[in-house]
């Protein structure tokens, strides 16, 4: 194989030209004989075709060989560079290399800003939901503890995704409709709520009162569902509302069945603010209340959360006696509710057996 593609062209061009010359000479010599002329022409043309085929094959082979040579050279260079890098790494003192812990911290440092941004965005969303009126961006920034430009950027991002919406003709913001599908999925997929609903409706019908289902969520009671008083033409709409632990029957009955140290931790996490004159506001008084709840098996709320409402509540306990939720029946008069407390505790036990 010649080492240069130009030489391949030159050699094969020489062979082709030679065949063409033979063809011309043969035609001149055999001009008087038609048959001889055809045979000579066919023979010469066959030779030309063979020369062309040979040229193509050799050219292609040359091109492939050159490509392989380039790849091999590149591979050797990369291998040499890798070897040099590995040798350099081996020669680097261990104390100068980043330890696994340092590399992990570096990776966390790269991720941390994104995590913080996500956390701030969720805080903004939560603040909008919890503030008593639709806030402005300045009010949000003050509430969350971030700069106004940051609050503006986060609000715009949440609004673009439909989680926030601007109040028409105002510079205030409220929760957007993108929250609703998420909330619906939470309710529909919660085993406790799905299993409890038939029993809540039966209890509301039996006691002719509103029934609530609550769980412990982030130092508060979160309402998952319930049933309204049958005589009222309304649909239960208290889903997702949060109420304090210390001032509600649901909260107190959950606290009473938690490990004492956990109950104390939750009570100390938030101030025991007086919501009405009847609210328990000291740890000493609350400890006595929780002890009484454990002894009688249910909790009472006597106008402690709102002045016009009272309730009886019972805990839904798992196999280990841990409160996974609670049921309450609300009414205006505690005296009318207490005689039926066994119906509330019975419903809580039925729900617990389903889980």
pLDDT (0 to 100) of residue 46: 60
User: Is pLDDT above 60 for 57?
Assistant: no
- Write the pLDDT tens digit of every residue in 295-349: 999 999 999 999 999 999 999 999 999 999 999 999 988 999 999 999 999 999 9
Share of the chain above pLDDT 90, in %: 61
C-alpha–C-alpha distance, residues 42 and 44, integer Å: 6
- Residue 82: pLDDT band by 50, 70, 90 thresholds? very low
What is residue 245's three-state secondary structure?
coil
Cβ burial of 168 (10 Å; 0-12, 13-18, 19+) is exposed
User: Is pLDDT above 90 for 86?
Assistant: no
- Top mean-pLDDT range of 39-48, 64-73, 185-194: 185-194
Dig out the tokens for 113 from the structure: 């800003």
Q: Which residues touch 195 (CB under 8 Å, ≥6 apart)? A: 351, 354, 355
DSSP symbols for 151-183: HHHHHHHHHHTTSEEEPTTSSBEEE-TTHHHHH
What count of residues does the chain have?
355
pTM (global) more than 0.75: no
User: Is pLDDT above 90 for 199?
Assistant: yes
pLDDT (0 to 100) of residue 235: 73
- Residue 49: pLDDT band by 50, 70, 90 thresholds? low
Phi, psi of 246 (to 5 degrees): -75, -20
pLDDT (0 to 100) of residue 229: 86
Q: Which residues touch 190 (CB under 8 Å, ≥6 apart)? A: 224
- Write the pLDDT tens digit of every residue in 242-286: 999 999 999 999 999 999 999 999 999 989 999 999 999 999 999
Cβ burial of 62 (10 Å; 0-12, 13-18, 19+) is middle
pLDDT (0 to 100) of residue 237: 72
Q: Are 51 and 15 in contact (CB under 8 A)?
A: yes
Cβ burial of 161 (10 Å; 0-12, 13-18, 19+) is exposed
Phi, psi of 174 (to 5 degrees): -135, 170
User: Is pLDDT above 60 for 202?
Assistant: yes
What is residue 314's three-state secondary structure?
strand
- Residue 18: pLDDT band by 50, 70, 90 thresholds? low
Element (DSSP H or E) covering residue 222: strand 220-227
C-alpha–C-alpha distance, residues 223 and 229, integer Å: 17
pLDDT (0 to 100) of residue 30: 44
Looking at per-residue pLDDT, the higher value among 62 and 172 belongs to 172
What is residue 225's three-state secondary structure?
strand
């Amino acid at each position: 194989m010649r080492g240069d593609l130009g030489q391949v062209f030159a050699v094969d061009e020489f062979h082709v030209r030679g065949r063409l010359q033979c063809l011309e000479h043969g035609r001149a010599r055999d001009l008087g004989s038609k048959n001889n002329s055809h045979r000579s022409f066919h023979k010469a043309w066959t030779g030309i075709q063979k020369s062309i085929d040979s040229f193509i094959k050799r050219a292609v082979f040359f091109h492939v060989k050159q490509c392989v040579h380039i790849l091999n050279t590149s591979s050797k260079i990369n291998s040499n560079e890798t070897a040099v890098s590995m040798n350099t790494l081996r020669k680097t003192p261990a104390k100068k290399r980043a330890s696994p812990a340092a590399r992990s911290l570096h990776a966390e440092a790269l991720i941390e800003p994104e995590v913080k941004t996500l956390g701030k965005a969720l805080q903004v969303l939560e603040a909008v939901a919890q503030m008593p009126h639709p806030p402005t961006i300045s009010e949000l920034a003050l509430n969350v503890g971030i700069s106004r430009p940051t609050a503006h950027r986060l609000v715009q991002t949440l609004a673009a995704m439909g989680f926030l919406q601007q109040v028409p003709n105002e510079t205030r913001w409220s929760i957007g409709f993108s929250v609703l599908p998420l909330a619906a999925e939470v309710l529909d997929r919660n085993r406790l709520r799905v299993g409890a609903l038939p029993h809540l409706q039966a209890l509301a019908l039996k006691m002719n009162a509103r029934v609530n289902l609550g769980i412990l969520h982030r130092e508060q009671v979160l309402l998952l569902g319930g049933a309204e008083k049958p005589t009222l033409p309304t649909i239960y709409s208290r889903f997702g509302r949060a109420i304090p632990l210390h001032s509600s029957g649901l909260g107190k009955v959950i606290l009473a069945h938690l490990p004492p140290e956990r109950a104390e931790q939750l009570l100390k996490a938030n101030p025991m603010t007086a919501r009405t004159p009847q609210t328990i506001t000291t740890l000493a008084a609350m400890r006595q209340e929780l002890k009484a709840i454990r002894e009688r098996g249910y909790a009472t709320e006597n106008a402690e959360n709102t002045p016009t409402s009272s309730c009886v509540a019972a805990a839904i306990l798992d196999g280990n006696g841990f409160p996974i939720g609670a049921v309450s029946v609300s009414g205006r008069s505690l005296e009318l509710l207490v005689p039926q407390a066994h119906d509330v505790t019975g419903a809580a036990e039925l729900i617990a057996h389903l889980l």
